[in-house]
Amino acid sequence: MFRLKVGYYAVSKERFIQMLKEKGLKVTNQRLLVLEVLAAHRDAHMTAEDIYELVRRTILK
């Protein structure tokens, strides 16, 4: 289980999934993996390239 801080709020995986569905977006493994990477590095200021590289490393494990 992971929680992602969004603004002043911590968002659980279940809530994130609910938010995607409310916006009419598909819940994909890719979106969930990006969320996991962001949650694991919540104190880091990352570029899109940083996030991509971390996701890529996670997939290749």
Mean pLDDT of 9-18: 81
Per-residue model confidence (pLDDT) at position 3: 63
The residue whose two tokens read 């990477």 is 37
Task: Give residue 35's pLDDT.
Answer: 87
Q: Give the domain extent around 46.
A: 3-60
Q: Estimate the crossing angle of helix 29-40 against helix 13-22, to 10 degrees.
A: 130
Which candidate, 10, 23, 48, places its Cα nearest to that of 1?
10
9 pLDDT band, cuts 50/70/90, is low
Residue 13 has a pLDDT of 84
7: left (phi over 0), alpha (psi -120 to 50) or beta: left
Q: Span 8-18, mean pLDDT? A: 78
Give CA–CA dist 43/61, Å, rounded: 23
Dump pLDDT digits (tens) for 15-58.
889 989 999 999 999 999 998 888 888 888 999 999 999 999 98
CA 27 to chain centre: 11
Domains of the chain: total: 1
